[in-house]
Amino acid sequence: MKKSEIYFSIALDEQKVPEAISWRATDAGEKIHFAKAINIALWDRDQAGTMKIDLWTKDMPVEEMKYFYVDTIGAMAQSLMTATSDKVMADKMRALCQDLMDHIEQEQKNNG
């Protein structure tokens, strides 16, 4: 059986706030990649529930955070469609993404 691993490294300041997030994956070579935020969700086999890790660095702008979450929901919609073929749920998630993008764009116009 082939084994693949993903490693995350989080550099924290004195108050334990993330300053830097890096990651690498064994299937992607030894290159280290950097991120401003991560959102990891796992379905716990024994608890039959979701375990989550959400981290972002001090330099993650609020606007980018909003786009990050819209992109995450969109990716989840595609994953859900692939895994379950539930087009109704996937379409509702995509519609939510569109509503959120409309909100972000309106917010930008108002603050512009």
Q: Please say if the pLDDT value at position 79 is more than 90.
A: yes
In the structure, what pLDDT confidence band is assigned to residue 112 with cuts at 50, 70 and 90?
confident
Q: Please say if the pLDDT value at position 77 is more than 90.
A: yes
Check if the beta carbon of residue 71 is closer than 8 Å to that of residue 87. Answer: no
pLDDT at 12 (0 to 100): 97
Q: Please say if the pLDDT value at position 94 is more than 80.
A: yes
Please compute the mean of the pLDDT values over residues 54-83 and round it to a whole number: 97
Please compute the mean of the pLDDT values over residues 58-68 and round it to a whole number: 96
How much is the pTM?
A: 0.86
**C-alpha closest to that of 54 among 64, 62, 65:** 65
pLDDT digits (tens, 9 = 90+) for 6-55: 999 999 999 999 999 999 999 988 899 999 999 999 999 999 999 999 99
In the structure, what pLDDT confidence band is assigned to residue 58 with cuts at 50, 70 and 90?
very high
Residues 6+ apart with CB under 8 A from 97: 70, 73, 74, 77
